[in-house]
Amino acid sequence: MAKVDVVNLSGKKVGTVDLADAVFAPEQVNEALLWEAVKHYRASLRQGTAATKNRKLVAGSGKKLWKQKGTGRARVGSVRSPLWRHGGTVHGPQPRSYEYPFPRKKLLGALRSALAAKLADGKLTVVDSLEIKEGKTKLYREALEKLDAKRTVLLVENGKTLTQALVMGARNLKGVELVLNNEVHPYDLLRYERAIFSKAAIEQLGEVLEKATSKRKAARKTAAEKEAA
């Protein structure tokens, strides 16, 4: 178990939290898996609205312009031909979805990798609570500066402890995003320079990832035993 300091919003140490090595150990970082997760996330963001007009959609008559033979000119069937200026486009982009399936096991593995990388780089901070009595942007900016989070920051909170004051205070901060621990994505952890978790959020997320890791190892062990038999 790795011990990580727990601080308050003033930057003072108030305790420690144990993080499972199966989730937060440096050897858990899998760069290839992180690349796959980021690629999938960015692909799902694409609107897929690019479109061109083919010869069916472009304006113009479909009448044959002149007879096939005897004119000395090239044969042509319609002004909408792709060979002509203002004609239809061949094999142009059409509206479509760029999303594709991404296994949940791979997503959880990428999340473990992103968390381990953040911890190894010293860019992961755990606070006892993200709550401030007054939901004012100025107070949260001061708190983030005390936590040495002066650039882009990802705030991660537990759904049970999320308050309206936190939402109101963090929503107008430039370069700061607030997400729930059950919604955090590897892309979010890589995109923002520093990640700040509440103690409740990091503990719950760590338990979920540790259980998933244990199930994966148990399944591999069972499969190996079957092959050996």
Sheet holding 176-180, edge to edge: 13-19, 2-7, 124-127, 194-198, 153-157, 176-180
Within the chain, where are the H helices? 21-24, 31-45, 104-120, 137-146, 164-170, 186-191, 199-228
What does CATH list as the number for 2-46+102-228?
A: 3.40.1370.10
Q: Report domain extents, the chain.
A: 2-46+102-228, 53-97
Q: In terms of Cα–Cα distance, which of 67, 66, 92, 61 is closest to 79?
A: 61
pTM here?
Answer: 0.79
pLDDT by residue for the chain (229 residues), tens digit each?
678 888 888 888 888 888 888 788 877 788 999 999 999 999 999 999 999 999 999 999 888 999 999 999 999 989 999 999 999 999 999 999 999 999 999 999 999 999 999 888 888 989 888 888 777 888 888 888 888 887 899 999 888 777 788 888 888 888 899 989 888 999 999 999 999 998 888 888 888 888 887 777 777 777 777 777 6
- Go through 87-105 and write b for each residue having 16 or more CB atoms within 10 A of its CB, e for each that does not: bbeeeeeeeeeeeeebeee
